[in-house]
Structure 1
Amino acid sequence: MSEIYLPLHSGEAPQWLLSRMKKLADKIVRVIILEYGELEFLRRISDPIFFQSFSNVLGFDWNSSGSTTVLTGVLKAVLNKPDFEIRVAGGKGANAIRTPEEIRKFALEMSIDAEKLIRFSRLSAKADNSALIDGYTLYHHAIFFTPKYFTVVQQGMNPEEKLARRYHWSVYENIPELRDVHSGIISDRIENEVVNMISSKSEQAVEIGVDIIRDGSFRRDYGRLLSIVRKDRMIYVPRKIDWKAVEKAYQLQPERFEDLLLVKGIGRETIRALALISDLIYNVDYDKQDPAKYCFAVGGKDGVPFPVRRDVYDQVIEFMHELLKQTDLESFEKRRALERLHRSFRT
């Protein structure tokens, strides 16, 4: 397992640094797209280690959670222009809320289906916020797309613990079923227990949950669940269910979990309750293992190295080195960029 330290950080990058990052990012992005194509660029963005390394090469404080929001902002500035056939919509806070509006604008320019991308965007956000219940709440959401392919990078926070977690989705051509959709999740720590209803190990529990909604038995089973857990105070059962949303879902008769999840008001409380009902009443377990693949190491903020498997290290270094060689940067600028990358991977 690779380790990276990423404390929750609310600061912003200074303008002089952002300006420099955009210039360097533009050169690197052009090389990737020219040599490897748009699809490979999306695949690289969906790789948590490459994403973190890219931020470091550009000069941002690599071990800050702000690297996610800053790099996304830099890539939006670089990619959202006629030179490229890749667009980035969304971002942090209010920018995330404007994602559908931005998708429609770019889709019109590129003559592609906006509603498909908007559905994927909404589904990915709802999945990581409500169907993967790991203690983190999303505050950053960005979708990267070409006329044919798309991926999502989003980040959640646990403000009480001052922890952050970044979710990278695989690259897709069509909207996927919500099952093992991540190419990687990178986190401050691995949680002891989660509710992961987007794991293939939860497939039967998901089917039971959808059936409970469709046949109208959720309220009855929820009452049975409360009776069971009164004897076990260690089990957390949500007490605030949006019953209007449950009724709306019943009327809509969702055929798939994805349809249920997109019903307004169906959130993590309802999904957790459905998972517990499946487990404790119908004896069909759900996946409780944290799917995070990379764990941020414990350490101080500035200049703390993070250990990465040697083969991953070598691949990223080699790829970045090749990219920088092909840019028109001055030699000293290339050396400085590589030094920043090497420092971040120092073991």
Structure 2
Amino acid sequence: MNRSGHADLPLHYGTVPPWLASRMAQLGRAITESILIEYGIQTFIQRMSDPLWFQSLGAVMGMDWHSSGITTSVVGALKRAINPISDELGLYVCGGRGKYSRQTPNELVKVAMKTGLNGDELVRSSKLSAKVDNTAVQDGFSIYLHSFFLAKDGEWAVVQQGMNEATGYARRYHWYSKAFQDFLKEPHTSVIGHNQGDILNLTANEADQTKEGILEMTKEKPDIISREAQRYVLMPTHHDVRAEDIDLKRLGSTLALAHDTDISNFEDLLLLKGVGPRTLQSLTLVSEVIHGTPSRFTDPARFSFAHGGKDGHPFPVPLKTYDETLNILRTGLEKAKIGHSDKLKAVKSLSQIAQKLENSFSPNANFEEVIAKERAESYKYGGMTVKGPARKLRKNVKRQLELF
């Protein structure tokens, strides 16, 4: 998961509407708890340092799949969802955007007092990660969001974001405590943002001779121009979701499992029998966010086909489907806590079966028709955008989609 990269994150302003914010927090909690139960806290911390997984998580939550707003909204949702049960989970979320980012040291000290961790060291890590990205890496982006995800054993991930209003882009930086040994030795697991060419980067190995120590870097004048990152990922700037943004074979197998396959053919899924096709589509993509391997997140836009986007791309957020998905996950988690994990296993099987279908799947559906069908039927599922509820179209899509 320790990737490096850059991706376009257009600056988006505004707030997340309450009807989505509350659901994002609930889904964030359900996904987090599922990962903790199945894989443990280290896996969750490590995933937070993966920019593509983070982007996919935001998309599956119903946020605008490509924008800078994913960072703020996902961090905020997870903080609201996790911190009330932090002592139970052994997981803590500190910091946030603007004034909340400046509270990170105080919050870390409070966590340290509860857990016995070294508060001074945690505060130092928080401040140095921010200082590196704001000062040592002079790439034109000013940090305005800093979040610190901390496990009870002291492992941590930092997700922070800077903005460049002149270019209209944001850049997100990811850190993972186990991925580096020195704050000035290429510490990032990833950097997400618009590629603007060569930058001043004091953390690159080539810059060893230009720095004397991280505590003095605000006084230093870096004089080496180095590469921005070893590898990078470009996120497109357009708002709509296009065929080139998606692995159509992966998406097609998900749609096929949800809409075209008799679930009775799969013994592992019998506990989900009776769940509607639209909810199965969402559950399959949520299942992959929980159980997928790193290579599955190279096309984050695909995960917007779980719950759409608040801006209407690729389609309005289907609130009825969202709530059904949440109910299934919550019920599965409650039963798993008392030793009955069958329903969570069934949800896990969704992603496994969809991946198996890919082996022989050849997509031949028109991508625009897939989106058109979702939009035409959005009103059935309580479709909602920031502009209001979806309405029944006068000329509905009559021709059913042929997925095969």
Q: Distance in 1 between matches of 2:107 and 2:39?
A: 26
What is the CA distance between 1:345 and its match in structure 2?
A: 3.5
Q: State the AA in 1 paired with 2:77.
A: V
Q: How does 1:2-13 map to 2 (within 5 A)?
A: 4-13=7-16
Picking from 145, 156, 174, the partner of 1:168 is 174
State the number of aligned residues: 269
The match for 2:21 is 18
User: In structure 2, how many angstroms separate the alpha carbons of the residues matched to 1:182 and 1:144?
Assistant: 15
Aligned counterpart, 2:33: 30
Alpha-carbon offset, residue 295 of structure 1: 3.7
Task: Find the counterpart in structure 1 of residue 227 from structure 2.
Answer: 289
Q: 2:205 aligns with which of 180, 200, 208?
A: 200
Render the CA deviation track for 1:237-257: whole Å, top value 9, x for unaligned. xxxxxxxxxxxxxxxxxxxx1
- The equivalent residue for 1:135 is 140
Q: Decide which of 319, 329, 335 is 2:281's aligned counterpart.
A: 335
Letter in 2 for 1:37: G
Paired residues for 1:1-347 under 5 Å:
4-80=7-83, 81=85, 82-147=87-152, 148-172=154-178, 176-187=182-193, 189-206=194-211, 210=212, 257-261=213-217, 266=218, 270-271=219-220, 273=221, 275-276=222-223, 286-291=224-229, 293-304=231-242, 307=245, 332-336=278-282, 338=284, 344-345=301-302
The farther-off stretch of 299-308 and 7-16 is 299-308
- Matched residue type, 2:73: V
Q: Classify the secondary structure of the residue corresponding to 2:114.
A: helix
The SS at the match of 1:25 is: helix
CA contact (8 A) 1:3 1:307 kept: no
For 2:156 and 2:228, how far apart are their aligned partners in 1? 25
CA contact (8 A) 1:151 1:169 kept: yes
Tell me how far apart the structure 2 counterparts of residues 295 and 84 of structure 1 sit (CA, whole Å).
32
Distance 1:72 1:144, change over 3 A: same
CA 343–152 in structure 1, closer or farther in 2 if over 3 Å, else same:
closer
Deviation at 1:190, TM superposition (A): 1.2
1:151 counterpart letter in structure 2: A
After superposition, the Cα gap between the structure-2 partners of 1:177 and 1:163, relative to the gap in structure 1 and judged at 3 Å, is: closer
Q: Distance in 2 between matches of 1:174 and 1:116?
A: 15
Compute the displacement of 1:33 (Å).
Answer: 0.6
Shift of 1:27: 1.3
Alignment partners' CA distance in 2, 1:339 and 1:52: 13
Which secondary structure state, in structure 1, belongs to the residue aligned with residue 226 of structure 2?
coil
Alignment check: 8 A CA contact 1:305 1:344 kept: no
Contact 1:133–1:194 (CA under 8 A) maintained in structure 2: yes
**1:71, 1:5 → 2: CA distance?**
17
Question: In 2, Cα distance between the equivalents of 1:101 and 1:173?
Answer: 25
Structure 1: which 5+ runs fail to align? 211-256, 277-285
Partner SS for 2:95: strand
Question: For structure 2, which runs of at least 5 residues remain unmatched after alignment?
Answer: 259-268, 290-298, 304-366, 368-404
**C-alpha deviation, 1:204, in angstroms:** 2.0
Q: Distance in 2 between matches of 1:343 and 1:153?
A: 17
State, as a whole percentage, how many aligned pairs show the same letter: 31
- TM-score, with structure 1 as normaliser: 0.69
Preserved contact between residue 18 and residue 74 of structure 1 (Cα < 8 Å): yes
Change (3 A) 1:171 1:94: same
Root-mean-square deviation (Å): 3.3
**Larger relative contact order (Cα-Cα within 8 Å, sequence gap ≥ 6):** 1
**Distance change >3 Å, CA 117–CA 310, structure 1 → 2:** farther
Code of the residue aligned with 1:181 in structure 2: it is P
